[in-house]
Amino acid sequence: MADEYQYDVLIIGSGPGGYVAAIRAAQLGLKTACAESRDTLGGTCLNVGCIPSKAMLHASEYFDAAANGTMASMGIDVTPKLNLPKMHEQRLDAVEGLTKGVAFLFKKNKVDWKKGHATFQDEHTVKIGDETVTAKEVVIATGSSVTPLPGVEVDNSKHVVVDSTGALELPKVPKKMVVIGGGVIGLELGSVWRRLGAEVVCVEFLDQILPGMDTDVRKEANKIFKKQGIEFKLSTKVTGVSVKGKKATLTLEPAAGGNSETLEVDCVLVSIGRKPNTEGLGLENIGLDVNERGQIEVDGEFRTAVDGVRAIGDVVPGPMLAHKAEDEGIAVAEWIAGQTGIVNHDVIPSVVYTQPEIAGVGLSEEQAIEKMGGDKSAIKTSKFPMMANSRAKTNHEPDGFVKIIAEAESDRVLGVWAIASVAGTMIAEAALAMEFGATSEDIAYTCHAHPTHAEAIKEAAMGVQGKPIHI
């Protein structure tokens, strides 16, 4: 370590990017500290994001299976009774267990947790609460927070107009709920409360939900959610929300303009995206600018425009996903330690944890065609329905499909999309195949265990070859 600094590395933020970077830096022999302003480690993901949302999704899925007849169709007659406080308790238990786990890993790896809000004084000096810490390298891993909707005030404590954090901890099931934004949060948390008995309306500005995903996937997902009872108002914007007591009245308008309508509900979830956390960080003290989207630009080694300052995770460009942040955390520590840290940003899976799950990796069909200069014949695609997969059919999970997109000339897989009960687990295989530059033929000739949902990936690959067996 350069003697003039207290630490080799200081990481600001202990989310999946920051805490993983800190542990890997310490494993590589660097003297490491991590600043975190929350009371617990783990960032958005462990405290108010991935983990608590999955706890509610998992529990509500069981409730729904009992309530909607799925269990009865398998010979299990139950009438479920909701114990919402208990459901919240198990959510909080999951969060506590995992955030304490990170604290344990910090101790084990000798990472110093500096509690408090961090502000740059200069590129090597950071004020954290009352303490001043110096480090040879500083990594910004401050994550993101909810994008506000102009004119709509979120107050999680009142449980009427809430963001994702408020929607995780509603003390009772709303009779009617509106989610503004048909993205990942709106669909996941909308599903939770729909399953527990709320009437859910999703208002989406664009003409289809889940922007960025493959068009076939977006359309099929929309159909499935409608079947599950979520009502969609697409190409619609919210122009105002007024709150009176425990009720909110929304004013809606067609996105292109036109007659407005009103909707009275008990709860409004604002989920129109997230923005990078850079305010209050003192970036002006080190002369570091953000781009037009508020993100910190970095190079392939996660270096910002300021020497000695790097950045990773939600605060830099790319998908705002925990596993992307984690992989960047490992890579940045390796670069700082003088090694080569690799993240293949072309192969980052994304999963929506609804039921069925919706997952994808690589390019959508539209992106693939665009990449081929608009030439549709330069790609091959194949879709295999889950209805024809023996395991999904046996498990009463008929919805969804696997779609593979490959380059026509080389047969190299460009993208894989899946809607299936365990699509999130299935997509790992596709990511591995793509990481190794697999062709669809490679997947088609890989033996897959029977009966598994993963066989649908093999069948879709056989379909690209023009030779599926089960359709």
- Which of 170, 320, 413, 434 is close enough to bind ligand NAI by CB under 6 A? 320
First to last CA, the chain: 62
Q: How many chain residues touch ligand NAI (CB under 6 A)? A: 27
Q: Does 18 bind ligand NAI (CB under 6 A)?
A: no
Under the binding rule (CB under 6 A), the answer on residue 60 touching ligand NAI is no
Could you tell me the smallest distance in angstroms from the CB atom of residue 340 to ligand FAD?
22
14 binds ligand FAD (CB under 6 A): yes
Query: Is 450 assigned a catalytic role?
Result: yes
360 binds ligand FAD (CB under 6 A): no
Our finding on whether 185 is near ligand NAI (CB under 6 A) is yes
Question: Which of the residues 58, 88, 450, 453 is marked catalytic?
Answer: 450
Distance CA 439, CA 119 (A): 48
Segment (H or E) for 275: strand 274-276
Q: Is 459 a known ligand-binding residue?
A: no
Sheet arrangement for strand 413-420: 350-352, 357-362, 413-420, 401-407, 379-385
* CA 127-132-134 angle, 5° bins: 100
Is the previous residue joined to 451 through a cis bond, with omega within 30 degrees of 0? yes
CA 48 to chain centre: 12
Kindly state whether residue 415 participates in binding ligand NAI, applying the rule CB under 6 A.
no
* DSSP SS3 for 158: helix
Site for ligand FAD in 312-341 (CB under 6 A): 313-314, 320-323, 325
Query: Which residue, 21, 22, 13, is CA-closest to 42?
Result: 13
Q: Scan for tokens 């005030």, then name that residue.
A: 153
Of residues 240 and 273, the one with the C-beta less far from ligand NAI:
273
Does 44 contact ligand FAD by CB under 6 A? yes
Which of these segments, 109-117, 270-278, 403-411, 429-437, binds ligand NAI (CB under 6 A)? 270-278
Q: What sign does the dihedral 441-447-448-451 (CA atoms) show?
A: positive
CB of 316 to ligand NAI, least distance (A): 13
Strand bridging mode 236-244 / 247-254: antiparallel
DSSP state of 462: H
When the beta carbons of 204 and 407 are compared against ligand NAI, the nearer one is 204
Query: Could you tell me where the DSSP H helices lie in 349-395?
Result: 365-371, 390-394
Binding-site partner at residue 424 among ligand FAD, ligand NAI, none, CB < 5 to 8 Å by type: none
Would you please indicate which residues are annotated as catalytic (active-site) residues? 450
Residues lying near ligand NAI in the complex (CB under 6 A) are found at: 149, 180-186, 188, 203-206, 211, 237-238, 271-274, 319-321, 350-353
Q: Residues marked as binding for FAD?
A: 54, 142-144, 314, 320-323
